[in-house]
Amino acid sequence: MKPIGPIPAAFATQQGELMIGGCGVSDLAVRTGQTPFFVYDLDLATAQVERFRAAMPNEIHLHYAVKANPHPAVIKHLMSLTDGLDMASGGELERVRDCGAAMEHVSFAGPGKRDPELELAISLGATLNLESENEAVRALAIAERLGVTPRLAVRVNPDFELKGSGMSMGGGAKPFGIDQERVPALVRKLIAAGADWRGFHIYSGSQSLDVDAIAECQRASIALAADLAHAIGETPKSVNLGGGFGIPYTANDVPLDVESVGSRLSQALSARDAILQDTQFMIELGRWLIGEAGVYVAKILDRKESKGELFFVTDGGMHHHLAASGNFGMVMKRNYPVAIASHMGAETVGSATIVGPLCTPLDKLAADMAVPEAQIGDYVAVFASGAYGLSASPVHFLSHPMASEIVVKGGKITI
Ligand SMILES: *Cc1c(COP(=O)(O)O)cnc(C)c1O
């Protein structure tokens, strides 16, 4: 038997049925008109923003990294609660534009930006986090052609990385950002060309649950920003300290103590070099804000035994939820928090492997987990599914129907 990840405490049950935002899973399935579906409880996202604000120094701005979950209702909700949005593509930029985002609080990072994406960002007035010298040259040329002053920041590839993170994006040779020693020369060129130089973006990793690693990374980022500012001879208007706050996915994951991160950051900010006195600092988070607010719900289509092992075959799988199948940034498949949503809290009677309908052994939602008595027609819930779910999955693989996405807020369902 393999353990499952921790089910977020915010979810209630009623007579054995999982409740999400005050609605029972079977009711949600009827209202949605199909399974599988993802449901995002926006009230849980609100609670995360409030927790962040209470834990962090007041002067820190919070941005939402849209790539974690680009559903328009999620964007609109988090846009109303945070100080800005971070994009990773021109497509995301179009989405937030259509959601009515204030472009002076939107930034766009990511390697390999195409000219039309640069043009869209510059013409909308979003800040480009430049990922290479070449990109800087193209951005300046486009801005000149359009006759506008571009807002440009430089993404720095720092010499350090976020230790213990699920995905490291800094330290050593990386496709992200510009090596720190080449940054001052580039910034001087941007300023000389008349650009509105915004500052630095220092993003060194994702999915960390380690207070010391995050705090050290933030301290090092502030110190690096000060060194770069001295080398350039100018104060950056803003410094994006990255994010990397993780959430628990598997059995041994312990939730991040954000309150401790906040107090360590307070100390680091008070001790900062005078050249950064008037700099606006921000943190950009994706999964920590929305990850635990989402649940993926599928229905059991078949119940079968093979060589003494029980399998539940569901209508959902890795085509909608690659991450839960262990194939998105996980080295070895470990179980997400998964439950039979129709029989919450019921006594377990054995173990089962929960698979999807795809013809590949990779298509597993949970391996060998303890289960209660469950039948065809019961619902399976995969928690911690609000970030990197549907939008990070191979939805066309095997041409199965698309999953729906719905949101609940204040007990009301929006399809
Ligand atoms: C992916 C990414 C994020 C969001 O990461 P989370 O782990 O979801 O918080 C933020 N910023 C950048 C630059 C990214 O690439």
**Burial annotation 190-203 (CB, 10 A radius, 16+ → b, else e):** beebebbbbbbbbb
What was the pLDDT predicted at 408? Answer: 97
224 within ligand 1 shell (Cβ under 6 A): no
Mutate to test the pocket of ligand 1, among 48, 67, 167 (most ligand atoms within 8 A of CB): 67
What was the pLDDT predicted at 171? Answer: 73
Per-residue pLDDT for 202 more than 80?
A: yes
- Is 99 in the active site? no
Query: Nearest residue CA, atom 4 of ligand 1?
Result: 286
Domains and CATH numbers, the chain: 9-40+293-414 (2.40.37.10), 70-285 (3.20.20.10)
What was the pLDDT predicted at 333? Answer: 83
Comparing 1-5, 123-127, 343-347, 410-414, which segment has the lowest mean pLDDT?
410-414
67 within ligand 1 shell (Cβ under 6 A): yes
What was the pLDDT predicted at 241? Answer: 97
203 within ligand 1 shell (Cβ under 6 A): yes
Residues 6+ apart with CB under 8 A from 238: 153, 198, 199, 200, 279, 280, 281, 282
pLDDT in tens, 103-128: 999 999 999 999 999 999 999 999 99
Per-residue pLDDT for 386 more than 90?
A: yes
Q: How far is the centre of ligand 1, averaged over its atoms, from the C-alpha of 181 (Å)? A: 23
Identified catalytic residue from 23, 99, 217, 359? 359
d(CA 105, CA 85): 6
Query: Nearest residue CA, atom 10 of ligand 1?
Result: 65
Query: Nearest residue CA, atom 6 of ligand 1?
Result: 286
pLDDT in tens, 123-166: 999 999 999 999 999 999 999 999 999 999 999 999 988 876 66
N-to-C CA span, the chain: 37
Q: How far is the centre of ligand 1, averaged over its atoms, from the C-alpha of 165 (Å)? A: 12
157 within ligand 1 shell (Cβ under 6 A): no
d(CA 49, CA 182): 35
Q: How far is the centre of ligand 1, averaged over its atoms, from the C-alpha of 119 (Å)? A: 23
Q: How far is the centre of ligand 1, averaged over its atoms, from the C-alpha of 371 (Å)? A: 34
E strands present in 225-347: 238-240, 280-285, 294-306, 309-314, 338-340
What was the pLDDT predicted at 121? Answer: 98
CB atoms within 10 A of CB 398: 15
Ligand 1 nearest-atom number relative to CA 68: 8
109 within ligand 1 shell (Cβ under 6 A): yes
* Continuous segment of H or E residues that includes residue 288: helix 287-290
pLDDT classification of 246: cutoffs 50, 70, 90: very high
Per-residue pLDDT for 172 more than 70?
A: yes
84 close to 107: Cβ distance less than 8 angstroms = yes
**If you average pLDDT over every residue of the chain, what do you get?**
96
pTM to 2 decimal places: 0.97
313 close to 356: Cβ distance less than 8 angstroms = yes
Ligand 1 nearest-atom number relative to CA 155: 13
What was the pLDDT predicted at 9? Answer: 95
Ligand 1 nearest-atom number relative to CA 245: 9
pLDDT classification of 392: cutoffs 50, 70, 90: very high
183 close to 222: Cβ distance less than 8 angstroms = no
Burial of 229 (0-12, 13-18, 19+ CB in 10 A): buried
pLDDT classification of 201: cutoffs 50, 70, 90: very high
Considering the chain, what percentage of its residues have pLDDT values greater than 70?
98
